[in-house]
Amino acid sequence: MTTLSNDLEAGRYFVPVPSRWPIRSAVALLFLVAGAALWLNRGGSGPYVLGIGLAALVLILFGWFSDVSGEGAQYNSQVDRSIRWGMAWLIVSEVMVFAGLFGALFYLREISVPDLAAGGRSADLWPGFAGGWPVTGPGLPGDLKAMQAKGAPTINTIMLLCSGAAITWAHHAAERGRRAQLVLALFVTLALGTAFLYNQSQEYRHAITALHLTLSQGAYGGTFYVLTGLHGVHVAVGATMVAVMLIRALMGRITPHGHLGFDMVTWYWHFVGIVWLLLFVIVYVI
C-alpha cells in the first residue's frame, strides 16, 4: 500500500489523463458480440469477426493493464481504498451471477420437475413421468446417472482448497518480503489451479463419452454444465491472474509495500474457491 500521507493531506486524488483504452475495448466487445451473433445464426464471417474482437480485446487488456501497473507510485491511500472497494463490489456482482444460476437449479429441481411429475394436468401431457433427480425431463428419452462426488470432484475440491492455502502463504511471504517463498507459493497455486482445470476437462470427457451426459440433456445436463462450466471459466481467469502475479514476483515487482494488484488476485482466487465449495456440495453431493 503506497501511503503518501503528504499527498493525501494535499488532497490530491489520482485522476488519470485521457485514455483511449476504454473506447478501444468497447469497439472490441462490439466485434466480439456481433461475431458471436453472426456465428450463432450461421453467418460465415462470424468466427472471424468474433476472433478479431477477441484478439483485440486480449491485446487491449494487456495494454491497459500494463499502463495501470506502472501507476502504483501515484496512488495515495485513498486510491488504494477505492480500488479495494471496487474489487469487492465486482465480486458481489459475480456472486449474484452464481446466485442466479443456483436459483435456477433450485427452481428446476425443487419446483419445475416435481410439478411435472405431480400428476394432474401434467399427467395428461407426460404420463408416467416420475420426476426425481438427476433427470432429463419428461419429453426427452434416456435415463441419467448422477455425476459422482467421488473421484475427480473430490480431488478437485482438495486441490482448490490447497491452492487457497497456497495463495494465503504467498500473501504472507509478500508482506514479509520473502521473494523465494512468494514465487514458490504462487507457483504451487498456479499448478493446483491448472491441475484443477485439467481434471475438470477429463471429468467432462468422462461424462460425455462414458455417461453420455451432454448440455442438451434436460434439466440435469443443462444446469450441470452451465454451473461447472462458468466456474471453470472463472478458474481459468483466476489462474491467468495468478500467472501474471508469478511473472511480476519473478521480476521483483511485488514488494511488501506495493502489492495492491496481488491483494486483488488473492480476493478473486478465494471467491473462486468458495463458489466451488458451494458447487461441490449442491451439484455433486446433495
Partner 1 sequence: MATVLAPNQPLPAHEQKKGLARWISSTNHKEIGTLYLVTGLAMFFVGGAMALLIRLELFQPGLQFMQPEFFNQLAALHALVMIFGAVTPALIGFSNWMLPLMLGAPDMAFPRLNNMSFWLIPPAALLLMASFFVPGGAVAAGWTLYPPLSIQMGPGLDMAIFAVHLLGISSIAGAINIIVTILNMRAPGMTLMKMPMFAWVWLVTAYLLIMIMPVLAVAVTLLLFDRHFGTHFFNAAGGGDPVLFQHIFWFFGHPEVYVLILPVFGMISTIIPTFARKPLFGYRGMVSATLVIAFLSMAVWAHHMFTVGMPAGAQVFFMYSTMLIAVPTGMKVFTWLATMWRGSLTFETPMLFAVGFIFVFVAGGVTGVILAVAAVDVQLQDTYFVVAHFHYTMVAGTLFGIFAATYYWLPKMTGHMYDEKLGQWHFWLTMIFFNMTFFIQHFLGMAGMPRRIPDYPLQFAEFNMISSIGAFGFGFSQLLFVYIVVKCIRGGPKATGQVWDGAQGLEWTVPSPAPLHTFETPPRVA
Does 5 bind partner 1 (CB under 8 A)? Our answer is no
Does 285 bind partner 1 (CB under 8 A)? Our answer is no
When the beta carbons of 27 and 56 are compared against partner 1, the nearer one is 27
Does 47 bind partner 1 (CB under 8 A)? Our answer is no
# residues near partner 1 by CB under 8 A: 79
Q: How far is the CB of 13 from partner 1 (least distance, A)?
A: 5
Applying CB under 8 A, which of residues 140, 237, 247, 285 lies at the interface with partner 1? 140
Window 202-241: residues binding partner 1 (CB under 8 A): 214-223, 226
Quick count: other Cβ atoms within 10 Å of Cβ 108? 19
When the beta carbons of 141 and 150 are compared against partner 1, the nearer one is 141
When the beta carbons of 16 and 151 are compared against partner 1, the nearer one is 16
Q: How far is the CB of 182 from partner 1 (least distance, A)?
A: 26
Window 62-81: residues binding partner 1 (CB under 8 A): 64, 66-67, 70-71, 73-74, 76, 78, 81
Applying CB under 8 A, which of residues 45, 62, 115, 158 lies at the interface with partner 1? 115
Does 251 bind partner 1 (CB under 8 A)? Our answer is no
Q: How far is the CB of 70 from partner 1 (least distance, A)?
A: 7
Written as one string, the DSSP assignment of the chain is ----HHHHHHT----PPP-SHHHHHHHHHHHHHHHHHHHHTT-TTHHHHHHHHHHHHHHHHHHHHHHHHT-GGG--HHHHHHHHHHHHHHHHHHHHHHHHHHHHHHHIIIIIHHHHHS-THHHHHSTT----SS---TTS-----PPPSTTHHHHHHHHHHHHHHHHHHHHHHHHHT-HHHHHHHHHHHHHHHHHHHHHHHHHHHHHHHTS---TTSHHHHHHHHHHHHHHHHHHHHHHHHHHHHHHHHHTT--BTTB-HHHHHHHHHHHHHHHHHHHHIIIIII-
Window 90-109: residues binding partner 1 (CB under 8 A): 90, 92-94, 96-97, 99-101, 103-104, 107-108
Applying CB under 8 A, which of residues 1, 21, 178, 255 lies at the interface with partner 1? 21
Stretch that binds partner 1, among 20-28, 163-171, 192-200, 254-262 (CB under 8 A): 20-28
The contacts of residue 77 (CB under 8 Å, 6+ apart) are 1, 2, 3, 4, 5, 8
Does 27 bind partner 1 (CB under 8 A)? Our answer is yes
Cβ atoms of 118 and 101 closer than 8 Å = no
Does 37 bind partner 1 (CB under 8 A)? Our answer is yes
Q: How far apart are CA 248 and CA 254, in angstroms?
A: 6
Applying CB under 8 A, which of residues 45, 58, 59, 86 lies at the interface with partner 1? 86
Does 118 bind partner 1 (CB under 8 A)? Our answer is no
